[in-house]
Amino acid sequence: MNKSKSLVQLIEVPKIFDDCSLIFAQAKKHIPFEIRRVFWIADADTGLPRGFHAHKTNRQILFCLRGSIQIIVDNGKIREEVVLDKPNVGIFFNNMIWHEMLKFQKNTVLLVLNSHPYDPKDYIRKYQQFLKLVNK
C-alpha cells in the first residue's frame, strides 16, 4: 500500500500479530516489481552514512527490520527526508532517485529488495553526474 504521494514513497506490508510479529511481502501484490535480488545490512557503523548513489535501472524497497535510520531521497529538484523505524513499513527507491542513509541506530538491520541483479555499472555515485542526467 503506497501511503504517500510525495518523493518519500512508503510501502506498508501486512503485519500479523500472534505470538510474534509476522511480516510478509509478495512481488506484484505488495512490491511493485519482481524481486530478483535481496541483500541485507547489519553491524553498520552508527557514525558512517551510507548510500549516496542512484541506480540507472534498479528499483529497491528498503525495510528497517530493527533499529532506525534517517533516509534522504532526492530527485535532482526536491530533497526529502524520513525516519524509517517500523519493520513493516519500507521505502521505495525508484530508479534515478538519489538516496542517502544516515543516523544508523545501534543494531539496525536493513533488508533491501531489488528489481535487478547486481551490476556495478548501474550505480551513479557522483551527485553532479546524477544532476546532469536527471535534469537533461
* CB 77, min distance to ligand TYD, A: 24
CA-closest candidate to residue 133, choices 68, 84, 75: 75
Eight-class DSSP state of 122: G
Does the active-site annotation cover 53? yes
CA distance 6 to 134: 18
Site string for ligand TYD, 34-53 (x = CB under 6 A): ---x-x----------x---
Q: Which of 53, 55, 99, 116 is catalytic?
A: 53
Task: Give residues 96-135 in contact with ligand TYD (rule: CB under 6 A).
Answer: 118
**Maximum separation of any 2 CA atoms in the chain, in Å:** 52
Task: Give residues 10-29 in contact with ligand TYD (rule: CB under 6 A).
Answer: none
* CB 115, min distance to ligand TYD, A: 12
Number of residues that bind ligand TYD (CB under 6 A): 4
Which 3 state secondary structure label does DSSP give 13? coil
Closest residue to ligand TYD using C-beta atoms: 118
Nearer to ligand TYD, 44 or 89 (CB): 44
Please count the CA atoms within 13 angstroms of the CA of 33 that sit on its side-chain side: 19
Helix, strand, coil percentages, rounded to 5, for the chain:
10, 45, 45
CA distance 26 to 101: 25
Which residues are known to be catalytic? 53
List interacting residues with ligand TYD (CB under 6 A). Answer: 37, 39, 50, 118
